[in-house]
Structure 1
């Protein structure tokens, strides 16, 4: 038999199974109460609207919908996205938009474009584990990005040089971040721009949850703040990654990158080499649905998810023992729980699946160095009120037993 290790690239050793993707398999077990997957509630998908849009696309635009298309993406969809970006303070044109197969592909492309082996990516502690998975293939090092109190740029640069490369970008999600649910205030966003300007590095702004604000005042995206400083998107170093996965439907795999045309043109070449273009028919139907019902549909999502967040926060306050803390997000899908230091989220999950039948995501996977095992992530997007009440009752009971 062939020994595949003889032909695999060194980067393959850094490709690990996603803990979340593995936990999603538990959703097929009817007795599991799951707070694991950060996925939208399928009951809220605008299925009828997509059914009509697919029918129309295959009736009136079949030759285009089923054909090869341009790598940049379907022009009407890019025009619509550009209009929406303008509403949040990011004036741009279709030429500043690249359609990707979900924002996950965007992260993979950006890692591939900028990271050489031993280069450093600045990331949150914790950060989205899908970003770590995307970047890991390009063999980087990681350093801790803390916009509320960053180290000096010279310290970051020296550490990267000592590790054999240089800092290439800062990656962060500023609104209702996965996994913590926390939002970065305006001063911290400005500080990230200051740091990036001083170091001459890129900023990757992951905006997957930006539309799901329940309360509090909206804060301009980092790219919007940078445009205010520099006058035009063409002068900016921020790359904004958006997605329809949390707002419309994840199965269509439609996301986008918004950035200066210089970097979009390079990403287009990467898209051509990777998969030519994202699904044409999916882009057409996404445009049809988004352009006719985006705002009222997202308003429905906000109302539903806000009620679930409120119910989860109340259940945590009622059921969790002393010594357990959690975040209070203004939107999104997640609450981040910090356990007493002696506890380990992975051990707790193993026990929970055996005895309490409650699923969640252990926090260690969200740290680039595998630290902070006494954390876990709860998603409230797919849990109804009885499930939240019973799930937190069981989880609280298990935590008490392990103290």
Structure 2
């Protein structure tokens, strides 16, 4: 029998299964306490608003349009709503700067396709969002470490390292607010430093803002795209591509995200989508528009209130139970806490024991490192962390860590 895998392009070798998606299967085991999946709590979804929106769309004058092909840019009223939201957070634009994607993950895939030739360099933080690495990997880049807090890499050093593989530095990708996986937020000075570096290198910035609305404490910091627009004289003169999503606030199942970017970038993204899936589902875009118009602000507050309490409970449990030598981030928002174990410990090995013995799941930190490093780190998600998860799961995990500490 012929093995068709022999015909695969070289990029197929860089496509790996998501450790997180595999861990989500554990959620089907009722005795597993999972801090693994970075997924929203479905009990917070605005179910009634969605039911009413689907009824209104399919029962109204737009029923035919909802079931018909759509322009590749996306449903215009939704793009107008998003443009107003962008203006509210300091990014003046109009609907021509907005492009609707099938979730923000599709946006990352398209951006990798547009920017990366084999051997080109993407600058990413260490650690960084696993889904971004998966999206970019298909286009065979090399990765270099982006250090917003400062480091010894100069623009010339980045250029030299990129040229040694026959490519160029193309963009810096980062999650500046409550990052997945670390939970950390860049300061204003760090955001300005990223802009400075991008200007010196002549590269784009991909600002992944999936968690930006989920702030529970601390003062807000302007988006990089807003700072860039001020520097450059407007969004169309800037270099920042802002990726947003409705998944964390409204619901992920409809797969509606967006990109806010200079118009020339939007034009290329439209061509990419035409060659891919033509457009995001019309009915989902129209329904999301209805729900966003009616409930977005209230939904943000509802979600913040719930996750704020769960973050606090998780941090308190870690403080009370974790052994000496273990540290963790204390995020001002988002969905994640990043735990660092003592040197010499391996979170991948720990996970196997944790699932088998403690019946607690988490994501090993090495999955979020482009070089496979960070073996002594792990990510905990608190969005589904109910009282049992905190009062039973964290003590079990802490006890396992205590017993696994290097002698």
* TM-score bin, normalised by smaller chain: over 0.9
Superimposed CA distance per residue, residues 104-126 of structure 1 (whole angstroms, 9 cap, x where no aligned partner): 00000000000000000000000
**Offset at residue 228 of structure 1 (A):** 1.1
SS of the aligned residue for 2:8 comes to coil
C-alpha distance in 2, partners of 1:372/1:212? Answer: 26
Superimposed CA distance per residue, residues 237-287 of structure 1 (whole angstroms, 9 cap, x where no aligned partner): 000000000010000000000000011001100010000000000000000
**Offset at residue 42 of structure 1 (A):** 0.5
SS of the aligned residue for 2:198 comes to helix
For residues 388-399 of structure 1, the aligned pairs below 5 Å read: 388-399=390-401
Residue 45 of structure 2: aligned partner: 45
**Offset at residue 386 of structure 1 (A):** 2.5
C-alpha distance in 2, partners of 1:258/1:337? Answer: 33
C-alpha distance in 2, partners of 1:385/1:188? Answer: 36
For residues 3-402 of structure 1, the aligned pairs below 5 Å read: 3-60=3-60, 61-150=62-151, 151-402=153-404
- Normalising to structure 1: TM-score of the pair? 0.99
SS of the aligned residue for 1:239 comes to strand
SS of the aligned residue for 2:353 comes to helix
Superimposed CA distance per residue, residues 164-216 of structure 1 (whole angstroms, 9 cap, x where no aligned partner): 21100000000000000000000000011110111100000000000000111
C-alpha distance in 2, partners of 1:329/1:163? Answer: 37
C-alpha distance in 2, partners of 1:176/1:385? Answer: 23
C-alpha distance in 2, partners of 1:389/1:177? Answer: 26
**Offset at residue 6 of structure 1 (A):** 2.4
C-alpha distance in 2, partners of 1:59/1:316? Answer: 50
C-alpha distance in 2, partners of 1:149/1:134? Answer: 26
Structure 2 gap segments, 5+ residues each:
none
C-alpha distance in 2, partners of 1:386/1:8? Answer: 46
**Offset at residue 2 of structure 1 (A):** 1.4
SS of the aligned residue for 2:308 comes to helix
C-alpha distance in 2, partners of 1:84/1:385? Answer: 35
C-alpha distance in 2, partners of 1:341/1:179? Answer: 19
C-alpha distance in 2, partners of 1:382/1:343? Answer: 26
SS of the aligned residue for 1:251 comes to coil
C-alpha distance in 2, partners of 1:69/1:163? Answer: 41
C-alpha distance in 1, partners of 2:239/2:324? Answer: 44
C-alpha distance in 2, partners of 1:73/1:103? Answer: 14
C-alpha distance in 1, partners of 2:5/2:44? Answer: 45
C-alpha distance in 1, partners of 2:58/2:385? Answer: 35
SS of the aligned residue for 1:252 comes to coil
C-alpha distance in 2, partners of 1:239/1:2? Answer: 43
C-alpha distance in 2, partners of 1:92/1:389? Answer: 47
**Offset at residue 89 of structure 1 (A):** 0.3
SS of the aligned residue for 2:134 comes to helix
Structure 1 gap segments, 5+ residues each:
none
C-alpha distance in 1, partners of 2:140/2:258? Answer: 24
**Offset at residue 229 of structure 1 (A):** 1.0
Runs of 4+ in 1 over 6 A off after TM superposition: none
- Normalising to structure 2: TM-score of the pair? 0.98
Superimposed CA distance per residue, residues 71-123 of structure 1 (whole angstroms, 9 cap, x where no aligned partner): 00000000000000000000000000000000000000000000000000000
Alignment length (residue pairs): 403
C-alpha distance in 2, partners of 1:248/1:5? Answer: 39
**Offset at residue 294 of structure 1 (A):** 0.4
